[in-house]
């Protein structure tokens, strides 16, 4: 999910260049004072003077020691890897694929393995993995693993009747400022906003968008019958719409408004509306359905807005640019795990009594709340059953990282 670079956007607004630079300088000064975007909901705020904690240490382990190594069929993961691993060819061969762990190798090493993988049939997947990869275990406490899916909801390309909730395309007035271009201290830090009367200001938040800030802009790509459906499609980052006109359309992530994501489930717990042990996506949906008057205000607490584009072909598509594979695609934090890399998952199943999920998966996606060394979000597929499992998945587990020999 890549945003446009700052300077092309700036050049398109050349007549505002001087005023915008002054506004950006003020923003940079504010960032120096600690007024940066807040942490994602899975992270606790760090003390402003605290040094970042070092990443967990990796310890090499035998592939045969991976839980369920002998029973899992890695062929579906290899098929996904054969497509997504091509991304390593676009990087400098000597570049480390992980900012945290040099043990995971270089882009050149991954590209070489990728070239060999292209000719491997599904029946030889296990032998290929055993021959070309080593495994590492994180020396860390178990991490949080959640699930996501592609919702399937009713909608229409034309506004009318019950279809009154729009999903929007990405507005062209969103400007992305890369603060790392101005100071090494802020490498990786970006802010999104818009220009109003020569000033760079935050982009419209959810409340403003719901109130009509983008109305009449021609950005509506589909209209939904239920605003709660739209809210959860934004959280999932994709959706399939059963059209009133007949047929279906698929929408995928195109951008965001730059506002901080807020997990409203925490607000329901804080209010005593839902017990912590009962919290799930289903619990949130029930509360929103049972409290239609209070629901808009609760959803507006999450100021983040996601914008979409219509997609054709297989999907949904992850941040790596490849179609996601149910139960084989994992969203990760790319500050630790390389997109396109292989991961061995070992987490409890959300259904009591079901065997743990122990299998080879591919890092193909990212997420605003997926932050941390041992944090993952497993893609369950499309539709109600996938949503039921994904919505209840919030498990403490671990993964093992694979690297070329």
Confidence of residue 43 (pLDDT cuts 50, 70, 90): very low
Q: Which of 4-8, 70-74, 331-335 has the lowest mean pLDDT?
A: 4-8
45 is a domain residue = no
**Do 249 and 329 fall within a single domain?**
no
52 is a domain residue = no
pLDDT of residue 361: 98
pLDDT of residue 187: 85
51 is a domain residue = no
Residue 331 and residue 363: Cα distance in Å, rounded? Answer: 6
**Do 246 and 394 fall within a single domain?**
no
Indicate whether 51 pLDDT > 50: yes
Indicate whether 366 pLDDT > 70: yes
Residue 286 and residue 170: Cα distance in Å, rounded? Answer: 30
Query: Tell me: the pLDDT tens digits for 336-364?
Result: 999 999 999 999 999 989 999 999 999 99
**Do 174 and 72 fall within a single domain?**
no
pLDDT of residue 34: 29
Total domain count, the chain: 2
398: alpha, beta or left, given left = phi > 0 and alpha = psi -120 to 50?
Answer: beta
**Do 157 and 280 fall within a single domain?**
yes
CATH number at residue 15: 2.40.240.50
Indicate whether 166 pLDDT > 90: yes
Q: What is the mean pLDDT of residues 190-219?
A: 95
CA atoms within 13 A on the CB side of 371: 11
368 is a domain residue = yes
Owning domain of residue 234: 6-37+152-311
With residue 284 as reference, give the H or E element that holds it. Answer: helix 281-290
Which of 281, 311, 341 is the endpoint of a domain? 311
**Do 166 and 302 fall within a single domain?**
yes
- Read off the pTM: 0.77
pLDDT of residue 96: 97
Which of 8-22, 41-55, 235-249 ranks highest by mean pLDDT? 235-249
pLDDT of residue 214: 97
**Do 168 and 299 fall within a single domain?**
yes
Residue 331 and residue 399: Cα distance in Å, rounded? Answer: 12
Which of 279, 311, 343 is the endpoint of a domain? 311
pLDDT of residue 313: 83
Confidence of residue 274 (pLDDT cuts 50, 70, 90): very high
Indicate whether 68 pLDDT > 80: yes
Residue of 158, 163, 165, 171 whose CA lies nearest to 217? 171
DSSP assignment letter at 374: T
Q: Using an 8 Å Cβ cutoff, are 346 and 400 in contact?
A: yes
Q: What is the mean pLDDT of residues 31-60?
A: 51
49 is a domain residue = no
**Do 271 and 162 fall within a single domain?**
yes
Which of 311, 328, 350 is the endpoint of a domain? 311
pLDDT of residue 11: 34
CATH number at residue 111: 2.40.40.10
pLDDT of residue 85: 96
365 burial (CB, 10 Å; 0-12 / 13-18 / 19+) is buried
Indicate whether 185 pLDDT > 60: yes
Share of the chain above pLDDT 70, in %: 87
Residue-level length of the chain: 405
Q: In what order do the strands lie in the sheet with 199-202?
A: 175-178, 190-196, 199-202
Q: Which of 2-11, 96-105, 333-342, 388-397 has the lowest mean pLDDT?
A: 2-11
295 is a domain residue = yes
Indicate whether 30 pLDDT > 50: no
Triad 326, 328, 331: Cα angle to 5° = 95
């Amino acid at each position: 999910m890549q945003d446009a670079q700052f300077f092309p956007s700036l050049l398109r607004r050349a007549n505002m260049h001087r005023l915008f630079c002054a506004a950006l300088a003020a923003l940079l000064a504010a960032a120096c004072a600690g007024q940066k975007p807040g942490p994602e909901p899975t992270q606790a705020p760090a003390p402003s003077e605290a040094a970042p904690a070092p990443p967990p240490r990796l310890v090499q382990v035998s592939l045969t020691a991976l839980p369920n190594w002998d029973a899992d069929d890695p062929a579906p993961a290899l098929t996904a890897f054969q497509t997504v691993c091509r991304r390593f060819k676009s990087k400098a061969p000597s570049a480390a694929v992980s900012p945290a762990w040099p043990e995971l190798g270089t882009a050149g090493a991954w590209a070489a393995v990728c070239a060999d993988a292209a000719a491997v049939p599904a029946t030889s997947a296990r032998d290929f993995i055993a021959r070309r990869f080593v495994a590492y275990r994180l020396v860390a406490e178990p991490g949080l693993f959640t699930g996501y899916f592609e919702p399937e909801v009713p909608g229409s390309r034309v506004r009318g009747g019950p279809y009154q909730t729009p999903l929007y395309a990405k507005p062209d007035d969103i400007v992305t400022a890369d603060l790392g271009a101005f100071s090494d201290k802020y490498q990786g830090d970006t802010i999104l906003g818009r220009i109003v009367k020569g000033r760079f200001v935050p982009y419209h938040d959810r409340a403003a968008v719901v109130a009509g800030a983008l109305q009449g802009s021609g950005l509506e790509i589909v209209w939904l019958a239920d605003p709660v459906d739209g809210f959860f499609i934004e959280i999932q980052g994709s959706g399939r719409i059963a059209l009133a006109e007949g047929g279906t359309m698929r929408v995928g992530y195109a951008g965001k408004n730059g506002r901080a994501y807020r997990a409203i489930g925490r607000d329901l717990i804080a209010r005593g509306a839902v017990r912590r042990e009962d919290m799930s996506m289903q619990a949130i949906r029930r509360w929103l359905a049972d409290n239609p008057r209070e629901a808009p205000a609760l959803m507006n607490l999450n100021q983040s807005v996601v914008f979409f584009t219509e997609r054709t072909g297989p999907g949904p598509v992850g941040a790596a640019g490849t179609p996601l594979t149910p139960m084989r695609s994992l969203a990760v934090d790319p500050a630790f795990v390389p997109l396109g890399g292989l991961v061995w998952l070992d987490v409890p199943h959300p259904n009591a009594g079901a065997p743990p999920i122990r299998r080879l998966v591919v890092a193909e996606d990212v997420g605003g709340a997926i932050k941390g060394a041992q944090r993952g979000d497993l893609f369950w597929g499309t539709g109600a059953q996938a949503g039921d499992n994904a919505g209840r998945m919030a498990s403490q587990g671990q993964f093992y990282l694979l690297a070329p020999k």
